[in-house]
Every structure is written in structure tokens, then in C-alpha cells.
């Protein structure tokens, strides 16, 4: 006799929400955020799951190669299938491929690390970087994320949004004080964004990390909507007050070049080297 297949339980509200899938994805997210492989107990704690539940879900993900288990060290890490699925996002836009040569040229010219980021759920998610050659450098690995209000790329993205969108982001995420330089009032933030719009680039003046400055500009798509942001980041010892305007001109031109590569409309006179 054939057994009847069990239906997947959804949430009581009937929205199709599946708790087990949500928990499995939470484990993937925690692994993706970690700099190194994690033990079962550490991973379960970060995901807020009981050990048996976390272990069962990880074994299921391992069978599909979404996670990898190192039996010798009893450590879990992201698997090759996660990379394959995530990488399927890139060909749809080709943003990284089109931006990378421009990012590399910007790094060579400025001597500082360049980063490319997009907005997702009120945060800036880094897609790619080109690290500078100096031993003292600042960079954000692809996949990491940061709040919009206290980062260079984040403020560049916010500066290209409507007032309603900015209000929504600030209301959703707040303005937590990260350093002594973090802008923590809506009024000051709006004034800072207005200044960024006027000059064409945003500045993170040690607002996310002390000793680090970023200069960033928005990138637009063919419809004129903000698509991403590119930034230069480095130590304050090198990104000094008197260099901000020059670096701002360079990063703004790079953003316009990427916009043009992606099919956005840019006045060709603005693409000339500053």
C-alpha cells in the first residue's frame, strides 16, 4: 500500500510560510556572515536554534551541498551549491563584470581600496572590491553588509533616493550611534544627504569605524533609478581633508562611467577626467 505524502505545514495565517525552511536559511545566513567555519554549537547559538534541530537541518543542507562539514575539525562552512545558486544572480545584471575594470582603474589612480555595493532591505550589501596594495587598507568582503546611514556607499545610495524612501529606511533601521562621529539625528542626516546630492558624492567621516574614511557616489540604471554605489575607502592618515574633493571627483566620474556602461544616461562632458 502506498503511503500518503505528508503536506508541508505552513503558518496558521496561511501565508505559505515554512518554519523548517526559514530555520535552514537562517543557518546559511549565519555561515555566510562568519569569517571562518563554525562549530555546530556556535552556529546553533548564532541562529537561535536547538542543537538537534540545527544538526538535522545542516545534514539536509549537506546532502544538497549547500553546506560543507569538515569531519576532521568538526566545522561547518558554506558549500559549493550555495556559491553556484548565488552566482546565478550575476549574469542577469553583469554589474560586477562591467564595473570591475573601472574599479581597478580607480584603485590604481587613488591608491585606495574600491568597493561596489547595492541596497537590500535597508542595508548596503557589498558585491565586489579591489584592494589597494598598501598593507594598511580598508575593505569589505563581498557578501558583508552595513547600515546605510553610517557608511559611504550607504549614504551615496540614500542620497539618490526619494524623501519617502529615506524616511522609510531611517524609521526601519534607526540611527544607532556606532562611533563618536556617527550622525544620529534625522535632521542632521537629511542635511548631510542634501550636501551629498549637491556635490555628487557622499563622505563617511569615521562614522562606521574610527580611523577609516570613505568617499562614495551612486550608480544609476537606464531608468534613472539608483542601482548601486562605488566608494574609495582608506585610513584617515591618507584620506585627509585636503584630498576629499579630488577623491570625490574621481569616484563620481567612476560612478558615471559605470552608469554609462550599464546603459544609464550620462552627459558625456561629465565623463572627462578631472
Residues 221 and 99 placed together within one structural domain of the fold: yes
Please indicate, yes or no, if residue 104 is contained in any of the structural domains.
Answer: yes
135: which DSSP letter? S
Task: Say if residue 118's pLDDT is above 80.
Answer: yes
Name residue 202's beta-bridge partners: 216
Closest CA to 251 of 202, 217, 212: 217
Q: How far apart are CA 131 and CA 149, in angstroms?
A: 24
Please indicate, yes or no, if residue 66 is contained in any of the structural domains.
Answer: yes
Residues 155 and 266 placed together within one structural domain of the fold: yes
pLDDT-based confidence at 15, cuts 50/70/90?
Answer: low
**Domains in the chain, number:** 2
Its pTM stands at 0.69
Please indicate, yes or no, if residue 9 is contained in any of the structural domains.
Answer: no
> At which of 40, 60, 84 does a domain end?
84
Residue 214 lies in domain: 92-271
Residues 76 and 108 placed together within one structural domain of the fold: no
**For position 135, which CATH number holds?**
3.30.450.40
How buried is 11 (Cβ within 10 angstroms: 0-12 exposed, 13-18 middle, 19+ buried)?
Answer: exposed
Residues 96 and 78 placed together within one structural domain of the fold: no
Q: How far apart are CA 28 and CA 47, in angstroms?
A: 9
pLDDT-based confidence at 1, cuts 50/70/90?
Answer: very low
Please indicate, yes or no, if residue 11 is contained in any of the structural domains.
Answer: no
Instruction: Return the SS3 of 236.
Output: coil
Residues 60 and 159 placed together within one structural domain of the fold: no
Residues 171 and 211 placed together within one structural domain of the fold: yes
**181-215 pLDDT tens trace:** 999 999 999 999 999 999 999 999 999 999 999 99
Summary mean pLDDT of the chain: 87
DSSP 187-231: HHHHHHHHHHHHHT-EEEESSSSTTEEEEEEEEE-TTS-EEEEEE
Residues 247 and 212 placed together within one structural domain of the fold: yes
> At which of 84, 101, 119 does a domain end?
84
Instruction: Return the SS3 of 171.
Output: helix
> At which of 84, 113, 141 does a domain end?
84
CA separation, residue 61 to residues 10, 72, 82, 131 (Å): 20, 19, 10, 33
Note whether 184 and 192 are within 8 A (CB).
Answer: no
Residues 25 and 64 placed together within one structural domain of the fold: yes
Residues 50 and 165 placed together within one structural domain of the fold: no
Please indicate, yes or no, if residue 210 is contained in any of the structural domains.
Answer: yes
**Which residue matches cell numbers 569616484?**
251
Amino acid at each position: 500500500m502506498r503511503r500518503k505524502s505528508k503536506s508541508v505545514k505552513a503558518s496558521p495565517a496561511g501565508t505559505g510560510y515554512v518554519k523548517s525552511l526559514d530555520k535552514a536559511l537562517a543557518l546559511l545566513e549565519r555561515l555566510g556572515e562568519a569569517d571562518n567555519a563554525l562549530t555546530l554549537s556556535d552556529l546553533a547559538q548564532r541562529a537561535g536554534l536547538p542543537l538537534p534541530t540545527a544538526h538535522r537541518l545542516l545534514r539536509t543542507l549537506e546532502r544538497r551541498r549547500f553546506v560543507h562539514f569538515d569531519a576532521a575539525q568538526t566545522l561547518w562552512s558554506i558549500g559549493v551549491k550555495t556559491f553556484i545558486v548565488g552566482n546565478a544572480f550575476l549574469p542577469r545584471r553583469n554589474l560586477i563584470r562591467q564595473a570591475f575594470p573601472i574599479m581597478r582603474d580607480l584603485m590604481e589612480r587613488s591608491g585606495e581600496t574600491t568597493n561596489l555595493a547595492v541596497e537590500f532591505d535597508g542595508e548596503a550589501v557589498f558585491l565586489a572590491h579591489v584592494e589597494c596594495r598598501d598593507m594598511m587598507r580598508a575593505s569589505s568582503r563581498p557578501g558583508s553588509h552595513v547600515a546605510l546611514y553610517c557608511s559611504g556607499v550607504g549614504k551615496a545610495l540614500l542620497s539618490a533616493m526619494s524623501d519617502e524612501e529615506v524616511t522609510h529606511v531611517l524609521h526601519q533601521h534607526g540611527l544607532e550611534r556606532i562611533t563618536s562621529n556617527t550622525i544620529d539625528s534625522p535632521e542632521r542626516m537629511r542635511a548631510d544627504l542634501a550636501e551629498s546630492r549637491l556635490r555628487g558624492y557622499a563622505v563617511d567621516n569615521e562614522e562606521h569605524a574610527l580611523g577609516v574614511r570613505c568617499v562614495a557616489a551612486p550608480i544609476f540604471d537606464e531608468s534613472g533609478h539608483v542601482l548601486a554605489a562605488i566608494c574609495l575607502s582608506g585610513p584617515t592618515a591618507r584620506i585627509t581633508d585636503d584630498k576629499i574633493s579630488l577623491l570625490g571627483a574621481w569616484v563620481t566620474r567612476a560612478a558615471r562611467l559605470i552608469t554609462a556602461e550599464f546603459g544609464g544616461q550620462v552627459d558625456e562632458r561629465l565623463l572627462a577626467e578631472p
